[in-house]
Amino acid sequence: MTNQLNGCSVAILVTDGFEQVEMTEPRKALEQAGAKTTLVSPKDGQVQGWNHDNKGDVFKVDATLDSAGAKEFDALLLPGGVANPDKLRMTPKAVAFVESFVKEKKPIAAICHGPWMLVETKAVHGKTVTSWPSLKTDIVNAGGKWVDREVVTDGNIVTSRKPDDIPAFNKQTIALFAESMKHAPAAR
């Protein structure tokens, strides 16, 4: 379904250590659906992707957290990889960036270890979410209900467990973002 997301601007928050396929495949699906994606990072220049335990490709950062704000975007994508969200949740500007999406009730898609940022911003409280299994205790301790499912949508948040879930994750992410666009205020 092309053009479902025409006019939708999506921030993709990453730093070095993100799981490459969890950024590239959702990004491709979002762009094919008509969205404009922006790679946002705490650092300028490039970020290093990973393919499990091996270095992957480097990607150009489109905007830094110093220059980008949640008000510029309609939705947020949080790829996983262990190092990526662990570094981001220790970066106050990254946490504040995600908190802005949470406070404004903008749609957020997080996969694998990406929900750590949702734990950090208290966005999982009262929500049913999934993630890489090692985040279960963190999610439960943050007041969320963790389930072992391919993809879960609860309110304005969609989550998935791992790279194998990407097709279902992409489908639900596009559906959530498209539904949100129907109810979004007129153009910024």
Q: Catalytic residue numbers?
A: 112-113
- Give the C-alpha distances (Å, rounded to integers) separating 88 from 28, 93, 105, 148, 186: 23, 9, 20, 24, 31
Give the E-state strand segments of 45-120 in sequence order: 46-51, 54-60, 63-64, 75-78, 108-111
**Longest CA span, the chain:** 44
3-state secondary structure of 111: strand
Decide if 124 contacts 143 (C-beta within 8 A): yes
Q: Is 122 helix (H, G, I), strand (E, B) or coil?
A: coil
Spatial separation of the C-alpha atoms in residues 112 and 136, rounded to whole Å? 11
Task: Please return the burial class of 182, using the count of CB atoms within 10 Å of its CB with bins 0-12, 13-18 and 19+.
Answer: exposed
Tell me the one-letter amino acid at 20. Q
